[in-house]
A and B are shown apart, each in its own frame.
Chain A
Amino acid sequence: MDPLNALIAVSNYVLIPGIAYGSQLALGALGVTLIYGILRFSNFAHGDTMAFGAMVTILVTWWMQGHGIHLGVLPTALLALPFGILGTMALLLATDRVVYRFYREQKAKPVIMVIVSLGVMFIMNGIVRFIIGVDDQQFADGERFIISARDFKAWTGLEEGLSIRTSQGITFIATIVSVALLFWFLNKTRTGKSMRAYSDNEDLALLSGINPERVVMITWLIVAALCTVAGVLYGLDKTFKPFTYFQLLLPIFAAAIVGGLGNPLGAIAGGFVIAFSEVAVTYAWKKVLGYLAPGGWEPEGLVQLISTDYKFAVSFAILLIVLLFKPTGLFKGKSV
């Protein structure tokens, strides 16, 4: 029995990666849920928008690194992030102007908008692959660890090491800042209130003089910022590869739906639910159980419930369970 080491092992392999991944999913799901609330369609191009934002940031980061600009212990990407956000904002506003606005004026059915977003997805995917290629890209620099496993062991004298990577710390802080800003904006500012009003009841909002085009524009700007932050954080934490971003679409949508589509608070909760389930179910619990079990009872196998390759199955299973039992999600979502 060694509960302290077990706790450290759980923190190291489940809690910390889960929090980082959950934050990234939450930021992605917030974007999906905002678009669903205001523009009333599921945006399939979301993953590729994230990839685009991350790509612009990476290009600026490389330029900065080439000119000797850096942030010391922090990754240079943080300095490049605002440029990435501006680039994504420009892309999304242009997309809205050229593509989506036409269908909004037509009052097209939501499902038509979804199919339109499929076309946008193809184009963005093509642009990203065209500019940066399909391979892995490294752009993280600065100090790698906040706490490294070796220092932690030397410091505490425990058998298990705890490591917190800089990218994980930044992810967590950046998510809190973004979410705080978003909620302050939605709840306290006049524009944010008009957005919520528009999301709740379009006709009433129009009657009270809210300009729908302005609401839509601000939504795209916020979504661009969220997408870029989520994309860059995921790229820093793991790696940047355009195809992975496309695949993120599934857990992100699962998170938004589990939380209740159109509900920002739900998107955050959903992100963490999906992330923790995915990490917990695919983690091999042998080590932790080894610390907890009384002598001689240590498990022989890996005690891994399902292999990492089936992580999609986790998002999917949670999605189905929630939808079967609580069709509008954990928090009350809306339906078109």
Chain B
Amino acid sequence: MNDTVKNIGLFAIVAALIALVGVQQGWNSALVIMNMGMISAIMAIGVNLQWGFAGLFNVGIMGFVALGGLAAVLVGLPPVKEAWSAGGLGILAGLALGAATIIGAVLVMKRMPRGMVRNLVVTVVLVAGFFIFRAVLDPAVLAVEAVNPALQGNLGGINPGGENYKDFGLIMILAWIFGGVLAAGAAWLIGKTALGLRSDYLAIATLGIAEIIIAVLKNEDWLSRGVKNVVGIPRPVPYEIDLQADPSFVARAASWGFDPVEGSTIYVKLLYFFMFLVVLLLLLWMAQMALKSPWGRMVRAIRDNEVAAEAMGKDVTRRHLQIFVLGSAICGLAGAMMTTVDSQLTPGTYQPLRFTFLIWVMVIVGGSGNNFGAVLGGFLIWYLWVQVEPWGIALMQFVTSGFPEGYWLKDHLMASAAHMRLFTMGLVLLLVLRFSPRGLIPEK
């Protein structure tokens, strides 16, 4: 059995597992798993680019995914005119001053000779800049957040639709790209400061950055409404309600043997399915091309032996920065797609176990260094993540079936069954690392 047959077999098994969900629990459930599986696979491609190709240990994926979600808000929502007139300029000016402070400090660092004087000047620039920044930003933020706080209190986005912004759903495709750009920008800033760090230190640094990004999304109400959440983000596909009211769609659904409700929900998910499929295939093709190109070989050479690659004249720092930005951009893109499917941004739900470490499990289990492996891992692990919960409950029902009703241990076990998924993910990761350390589809 050669590799191609084995790989096709692995993909077929995962497809069959998801199809089984469709037969048993309905095609809506199967399509939900499939769509999130594709988003997970895209994130896994991004992480694989960083870890598998270049050996960069980034555990800040959650931050870039969340930035993608922010992009969906900033593009998808219409601007709040009162908020802009109340404090929009003040916020922009404040942010510009903040950026100027940092640029000023960096310039001083670069231009002045080493010594006490330089440290003193940098400190003065930073402290003074910080207070000016707060003095300009704070009143503007208060003014913006006072505008209709129950529904808005933020600056909104760039959707040109105004009141009817939900008719401009196709703008969300732009939001996906912007999600990638936003994440890339953040990654560039982070990479400039943190990429010089050794692998363990880089891991801790990125872990911290992700927490900071989430803290910003939770607390800066003028930007993303914070923990009040943004709901009603437009979507690039029609709404189920509209489809059900459309006689021609109802007739078409009936001819396929569906009632209008089921038909419309499946139709919407299928539209997402094809959109995501296009993005996934495009990225997969690009990642494959990059891997095979001279650039890909150079990056892997750097990963395997940094010193030797540097001696051959390869610019290690630049390549690392490049890969870090590219991989993070892919994660941001996936984050924007995810927020689009959910139609809402809820900063409180971003948890590192789900959005950073789970993606890592996908890459390691699938096979780091192999794009198809990452995609396979994305689908497989996402399938497990969703399915382990009902399995755990079924298992607990079986285990506790002998106990009388209302017995404390039975109640406790049933309530805790949902936490089985973390345990299972850890187990899968450890088993793969032990018995198939290069993953299901190893790097060639």
Contacts and interface: CB of A to CB of B under 8 A. Distances in A.
Contacts of A133: 415-416
A247 B199 CA distance: 20
Interface in B163-216: 193-194, 197-201, 203-205, 207-209, 211-212, 215
Interface in A4-44: 41-42
A336 B199 CA distance: 10
Given A119-B426, A126-B419, A126-B423, A247 B353 contact: no
A250 interface: yes
A306 B205 CA distance: 20
> For this complex, into which size category does the number of interface residues on chain A fall?
35 or more
B426 A309 contact: no
Contact of B203 (A42, A121, A254, A335): A42
A310 B212 contact: yes
Given A122-B357, A312-B215, A320-B194, A99 B207 contact: no
A72 B213 CA distance: 45
B215 A319 contact: no
Contact of B422 (A102, A122, A250, A320): A122
B219 A309 contact: yes
A191 to B, nearest CB: 27
A262 to B, nearest CB: 11
Contacts of B55: 111
A129 interface: yes
Contacts of B372: none
A271 to B, nearest CB: 15
A222 to B, nearest CB: 21
Contact of A118 (B219, B351, B421, B429): B429
A111 B57 CA distance: 8
Nearest to B193: A320
A130 B208 contact: no
A125 B422 contact: yes
B277 interface: no
Contacts of A131: 416
Nearest to B135: A301
A224 interface: no
B204 A310 contact: no
A181 B416 CA distance: 39
Which one of A118, A250, A324 has the highest number of Cβ atoms from chain B below 10 Å of its Cβ? A118
Nearest to A315: B208
Contacts of A129: 416, 419, 422
B433 interface: yes
A102 B434 contact: yes
Given A125-B422, A126-B420, A320-B194, A249 B364 contact: no
B429 A122 contact: yes
Nearest to B424: A126
A257 B415 CA distance: 39
A120 interface: yes
Contact of B208 (A116, A120, A312, A336): A312
Which one of B211, B420, B427, B434 has the highest number of Cβ atoms from chain A below 10 Å of its Cβ? B211
A289 to B, nearest CB: 14
A94 interface: no
B423 A250 contact: no
B425 interface: yes
Nearest to B227: A309
A126 B434 contact: no
Contacts of B437: 112
Interface in A259-275: 261
Contacts of A309: 215, 218-219
Contact of A120 (B352, B353, B430): B430
B211 A312 contact: yes
Interface string B10-32: 00000000000000000000000
B64 interface: no
B360 interface: yes
Contact of A323 (B197, B351, B425): B197
Given A119-B433, A133-B415, A309-B218, A316 B420 contact: no
Given A114-B203, A126-B423, A119 B430 contact: yes
A234 interface: no
Given A122-B425, A307-B219, A335-B198, A115 B360 contact: yes
Given A250-B208, A312-B212, A315-B208, A42 B200 contact: yes
Contacts of B193: 320, 324
Contacts of B430: 99, 116, 119-120, 123
Nearest to B428: A119
Interface in A274-302: none
A313 B353 CA distance: 20
B50 to A, nearest CB: 13
Given A114-B57, A243-B351, 20 more contacts: A111-B55, A114-B199, A115-B360, A116-B430, A119-B427, A121-B357, A123-B422, A123-B427, A125-B426, A126-B419, A129-B419, A250-B204, A250-B207, A253-B204, A309-B218, A312-B212, A316-B211, A316-B212, A319-B204, A320-B194
In the A-B complex, the 3 residue pairs with the smallest Cβ-Cβ separation, listed nearest first, are A122-B426, A126-B423, A316-B208
Interface of A: 41-42, 99, 102, 110-112, 114-116, 118-127, 129-131, 133-134, 243, 246-247, 249-250, 253-254, 257, 261, 305, 307, 309-310, 312-313, 315-316, 319-320, 323-324, 335-336
13 contacts: A114-B200, A118-B360, A118-B361, A119-B429, A122-B427, A123-B422, A126-B422, A126-B426, A129-B422, A130-B420, A261-B200, A305-B130, A320-B194
